[in-house]
Structure 1
Amino acid sequence: MPEVGPPYFLGIVVGTQGLQSGIFDLRGNVVAMSFYSYPEYHPRPGWAEQDPLDWWKAAQDTVRRCIFEGEVRPEDIAAISVSAVSCTVLPVDRFGNPKYRAIMWMDVRAFEQAERINATQNPILRYAGGHESPEWMIPKALWIKENLPEVFANADLIVECQNWMVFKLTNRWVTSLNNAICKWNYCPTEGGWPVSLLRELRFEEILDKWPRELLAVGQPVGELTKHAAYELGLTPGIPVIQGGIDAYAAMVGLDVVHPQRLALVIGPSTCHMAVSEHPIFSSGIWGPYYEAVVPGLWILEGGQSSTGSIIKWFGENFAPEECREACEVGEDLFVALDRIAAQVNPGADGLIVIDYFQGNRSPYQDPLARGAIWGLSLSHTKAHILRAVYEGTAFGTYHILETLARDGFEVQEVYASGSGAKSKLWLQIHADVTNIPIYLTTVEETSVLGTAIFAAYGSGFFESIADATLRMVKVSGQIYPNQNHHEIYRFYYDKYVRSYFALRDLMHEVSSKEGGKRFST
């Protein structure tokens, strides 16, 4: 283990399934890491909520554990930063007291509001791939106003998880420029706040409920308050540096701050972030986002709503014994699942999986799309299904990369992280399908490292984020594509793409009949 020593930097990341804190030194070495899980609430189909107090409880637990297990003196923490899942919207009073549970990113109750936003055809939507997502801030805030009018009226602020956590640390209400650009329709090159869109929606009042002070990632917010320091087991006065969206922090933790690189962050869903020197407007791809992380550069974002969550679904329904045995012996779940999928050759003997289990985020932006498994015969086994799931989700990534290439952006290198990156077979399939090498980094928890990098840069230890990643991110391995497998996959990828158009109308009919009520109150 490399030698580590102060100064140290604390990164806190509020995730979907839990909160993770990590302490790092100036070379990016992990001093300590701790994770705390918390529940989700699903009161209705298509709804997903969390209790913000669970986030703060998780922060207290993990920060104290990191200090203890890393044998770190609190006074050696030079700076703190916090990142969080985006689009997790929360109405609060000015003291931070929640007026309603947080509406999570995966919650699609604002479907109707998003459709009305899209019907405006406002020019600002071209920076959202031409289509507003029901996941985003404006649709959710509008839903609160229209369906919970008392909550909306009594809320001093409508914020995201990231705003709230920064307030808990500093007693300051500010907004991360990263979140505002990527999920609030703020556009630096088009005048900033989306006033014309809000005017069309007769919703300009939301501007009075947003923290209007914007800070870029890596900018100082303030100092850790005495109360927060007491609850976290830290020293008051530690600089708190602005963070952002967890997936974008992971992009930084992967050193994807240079053009033509793509960050592949594989969790329950998969995020694809690419850095470009020029704006590229691609239908179905979110952005381009100017200076959302790196000054002078644009970011393009694609995404798959279901990837790791489909693997979890498979394990729970088709391989519970294997999963239980792996847990009992302390084996990583993906090692056990890889053994199953490795029994089958590329192409899964003609089995095709469409990965739209929770709709399609990119490139169709179709929340009514659904998953499918076709080509089944009596010779197929659960190993075939898992192999086809691995391949279908990789086809989804390839589809996003092909969409970018069609519009003039060629990805040359892919850097992978997230829980899904623990599957060597799944990553190899991604490399084979896309025909692009995949790079791995030493620190697996790249969103936590990226957040710590924000802290190190913002507290003056580096001249730029790129300078910090050069010192703190280390490549640990490479996965090269198998050309023979790529040729096999080209045939099945074509069938994957054509399946959507063959099944789209049927998907929409069934989704509308069975799930239409999920978008109502």
Structure 2
Amino acid sequence: MAETKAPYFLGIDVGTQGLRSGIFDLRGNVVALSFYSYPEYHPRPGWAEQDPIDWWKAVQDTVRRCIYEGEIQPEDIASISVSASSCTVLPVDRFGNPKYRAIMWMDVRAFDQAARINATENPILRYAGGHESPEWMIPKALWLKENLPDIFANSDFIVECQNWVVYKLTDRWVTSLNNAICKWNYCPTEDGWPVSLLRDLNFEEVLQKWPREIIPVGKPVGELTKRAAHELGLIPGIPIIQGGIDAYAAMVGLDVVHPQRLAIVIGSSTCHMALSETPIFSKGIWGPYQGAVLPDMWILEGGQSSTGSIIKWFSDNFAAQECKEACDIGESLFDVLDKIAAQVAPGSDGLIVLDNFQGNRSPYQDPLARGALWGLSLSHTKAHVLRAMYEGTAYGTFHILEVLAQDGFDVQEMYASGGGARSKLWLQIHADVTNVPIYLTTVEEASTLGTAIYAAVGAGFYNNIPDATLKMVQISGQIYPIKENYEIYRFYYDKYIKSYFSMKDLMHEISTRVNRNQNSARSH
């Protein structure tokens, strides 16, 4: 580890499966990292919930461990920032006490509400790729009103996870401009709050339940309270700097703060973020979002609902023994999986995988789409299946890049982070399929680093985010496309695209029937 010295910046990253806190110095060197896992609850198909009390326990545990393991003094923490997965929605009273478990970002119970929002054809939806997601704030808040009216009525605020953790640190209810623009339909170029859309829905009352003070990322929110300082083992008065959505913090932690670059964050799902100097309206791509991270830049966002989760599904069901043996000798999961998949040549001898295991986020925005594996023969092995999964998820990324290119945005470089970035073979396949080089950074936890960069900027140690990333993000490696593999993959990518349209109606029929049967079984 590089030699580090004060001042230090604390980034808190509230994720899906757990919370990570990290302490970094002015050069972006890691001083300490700590992770705390917590459970998810799935009371019905398509539902996903968490207990906010688990988030706060995780903050306490990880911050205290970072201070201890980093062997630093609490007074050397110059500033703190918080980012979180979104849109995880929570009804609370004015003191932050939850009225209901948090409805996680992946929860799609508000499918009907989102459909009604889309039916309005309100002009603001063009800034959402033309299609509101049931994952977002307005559909979930509307679901609360219609299905839990007492909870909705008796809640002082309807907030996100990020708002809640910031309140716990500062006793202030504020909204991150990043979250508001990207998940709450707030649009700076269209008079701000989505009043006309809410009027179409007869739902203007929700405006009274949102924290109305909006603060951009990298700007001060307040100071750490005495109570919070005591619980975290810190000193009161430390500046709290506004963060936002974790994937966007990862974009900053990867130095994707310049046009023509794309951040690809490969976790259970994959997020794709890029900056543009002009607004680009691509159907099926979220945005364009003006000023969500940098004041004069627009963000374009694509995403795949299932990527790392598909690989985990494979390893749990078909490679458990190999993974256990590797763990026993200290090998990583991806070391094992890469060895298995490397036995097979590009194209997987004709196997095609559709990566829509949890629906398609971009560009089809089709929650009823499902995964598929076709082209099987008796000569295929589990190595072929794994390689085809690596390739199918890379095809999904290439599809998003092609949609962006058709609308005038040409990606020239990709910067990768997330658990999936630990697989060199999977990254090589992404580079080969897309014909775009991939760059890796020294700090794998790009979201935590990006959040700490917000803290450093907000405390005045750098003039702006690009100045900070220039000093705090270091490139550690490059992966270049192999031309002959790209030519092979062009053929199979064409079949991947055609597969969705050939199977779309069948997938919808199956999904609808399965969902109906599951709901019927639960009701009995």
Cα deviation 1:19-71 (Å, max 9, x = unaligned): 00000000000000000000000000110000000000001000000000000
Aligned twin of 1:364: 364
- 1:207 equivalent to 2:204? Answer no
Aligned twin of 1:342: 342
- 1:260 equivalent to 2:248? Answer no
Aligned twin of 2:25: 25
Aligned twin of 1:487: 487
**How far apart are residue 516 of structure 1 and its match?**
4.1
Aligned twin of 2:287: 287
Aligned twin of 2:319: 319
Aligned letter for 1:105? Answer: W
Q: Secondary structure at the residue paired with 1:282?
A: coil
Residue 137 of structure 1 contacts residue 184 of structure 1 at CA under 8 Å; is this kept in 2? Answer: yes
- 1:134 equivalent to 2:134? Answer yes
Aligned twin of 1:453: 453
**How far apart are residue 519 of structure 1 and its match?**
8.4
Aligned twin of 1:500: 500
Aligned twin of 2:187: 187
Aligned twin of 1:107: 107
- 1:430 equivalent to 2:393? Answer no
Aligned twin of 1:352: 352
Q: Secondary structure at the residue paired with 2:222?
A: strand
**How far apart are residue 295 of structure 1 and its match?**
1.4
Q: Distance in 1 between matches of 2:219 and 2:348?
A: 49
- 1:68 equivalent to 2:62? Answer no
Cα deviation 1:439-463 (Å, max 9, x = unaligned): 0000000000000000000000000
Cα deviation 1:63-86 (Å, max 9, x = unaligned): 000000000100000000000001
- 1:122 equivalent to 2:136? Answer no
Aligned twin of 1:406: 406
Q: Distance in 2 between matches of 1:324 and 1:188?
A: 51
Residue 112 of structure 1 contacts residue 519 of structure 1 at CA under 8 Å; is this kept in 2? Answer: no
For the aligned residues, what is the CA RMSD?
A: 1.0
Aligned twin of 2:43: 43
Aligned letter for 1:427? Answer: L
Aligned letter for 1:54? Answer: D
- 1:247 equivalent to 2:273? Answer no
Aligned twin of 2:333: 333
Residue 47 of structure 1 contacts residue 518 of structure 1 at CA under 8 Å; is this kept in 2? Answer: no
Aligned letter for 1:213? Answer: E
Residue 218 of structure 1 contacts residue 458 of structure 1 at CA under 8 Å; is this kept in 2? Answer: yes
- 1:59 equivalent to 2:59? Answer yes
Q: Distance in 2 between matches of 1:359 and 1:120?
A: 23
Aligned letter for 1:75? Answer: E
Aligned letter for 1:26? Answer: L
Residue 109 of structure 1 contacts residue 519 of structure 1 at CA under 8 Å; is this kept in 2? Answer: no
Residue 250 of structure 1 contacts residue 447 of structure 1 at CA under 8 Å; is this kept in 2? Answer: yes
**How far apart are residue 323 of structure 1 and its match?**
1.4
Q: Distance in 1 between matches of 2:259 and 2:214?
A: 25
Q: Distance in 1 between matches of 2:156 and 2:251?
A: 33
Q: Secondary structure at the residue paired with 2:46?
A: coil
Residue 46 of structure 1 contacts residue 518 of structure 1 at CA under 8 Å; is this kept in 2? Answer: no
Q: TM-score, with normalisation over the residues of structure 1?
A: 0.99
Aligned twin of 1:98: 98
Relative to structure 1, the CA distance from residue 414 to residue 393 in structure 2 (aligned partners, 3 Å threshold; closer, same or farther) is same
Residue 218 of structure 1 contacts residue 243 of structure 1 at CA under 8 Å; is this kept in 2? Answer: yes
Aligned letter for 2:41? Answer: Y
Deviates more, 1:322-331 or 1:374-383: 322-331
Aligned twin of 1:420: 420
**How far apart are residue 261 of structure 1 and its match?**
0.5
Residue 91 of structure 1 contacts residue 155 of structure 1 at CA under 8 Å; is this kept in 2? Answer: yes
Aligned letter for 1:41? Answer: Y
Q: Secondary structure at the residue paired with 2:10?
A: strand
Aligned twin of 1:10: 10
Relative to structure 1, the CA distance from residue 332 to residue 500 in structure 2 (aligned partners, 3 Å threshold; closer, same or farther) is same
- 1:172 equivalent to 2:167? Answer no
Cα deviation 1:469-517 (Å, max 9, x = unaligned): 0000000000000000000000000000000000000001111111147
**How far apart are residue 330 of structure 1 and its match?**
2.4
Q: Distance in 2 between matches of 1:54 and 1:323?
A: 29
**How far apart are residue 324 of structure 1 and its match?**
1.3
**How far apart are residue 322 of structure 1 and its match?**
1.1
Aligned twin of 1:471: 471
Aligned twin of 1:305: 305
Aligned twin of 2:197: 197
Q: Distance in 1 between matches of 2:368 and 2:21?
A: 36
- 1:444 equivalent to 2:440? Answer no
Q: Distance in 1 between matches of 2:328 and 2:94?
A: 47
Q: Secondary structure at the residue paired with 1:466?
A: helix
Q: Distance in 1 between matches of 2:324 and 2:93?
A: 45
Aligned twin of 1:236: 236
Where do 5+ consecutive residues of structure 1 fail to align? none
Q: Distance in 1 between matches of 2:198 and 2:499?
A: 37
Where do 5+ consecutive residues of structure 2 fail to align? none
Q: Distance in 2 between matches of 1:239 and 1:336?
A: 44
Aligned letter for 1:107? Answer: D
The 5 Å alignment of 1:371-382 reads 371-382=371-382
Aligned letter for 2:126? Answer: R
Aligned letter for 1:470? Answer: L
Aligned letter for 2:76? Answer: D
Cα deviation 1:141-173 (Å, max 9, x = unaligned): 000000011110111000000000000000000
Cα deviation 1:286-322 (Å, max 9, x = unaligned): 0000010011000000000000000000000110101
Q: Distance in 2 between matches of 1:330 and 1:18?
A: 23
Q: Secondary structure at the residue paired with 1:259?
A: coil
**Identity score, percent:** 79
**How far apart are residue 326 of structure 1 and its match?**
2.1
Residue 14 of structure 1 contacts residue 84 of structure 1 at CA under 8 Å; is this kept in 2? Answer: yes
Aligned twin of 1:512: 512
Q: Distance in 1 between matches of 2:35 and 2:265?
A: 18
**How far apart are residue 328 of structure 1 and its match?**
2.0
Relative to structure 1, the CA distance from residue 405 to residue 518 in structure 2 (aligned partners, 3 Å threshold; closer, same or farther) is farther
Q: Distance in 1 between matches of 2:516 and 2:248?
A: 32
Aligned letter for 1:121? Answer: E
Q: Distance in 1 between matches of 2:453 and 2:260?
A: 21
Residue 109 of structure 1 contacts residue 518 of structure 1 at CA under 8 Å; is this kept in 2? Answer: no
Aligned letter for 1:410? Answer: D
Relative to structure 1, the CA distance from residue 519 to residue 362 in structure 2 (aligned partners, 3 Å threshold; closer, same or farther) is farther
Cα deviation 1:326-353 (Å, max 9, x = unaligned): 2222221111100100000000000000
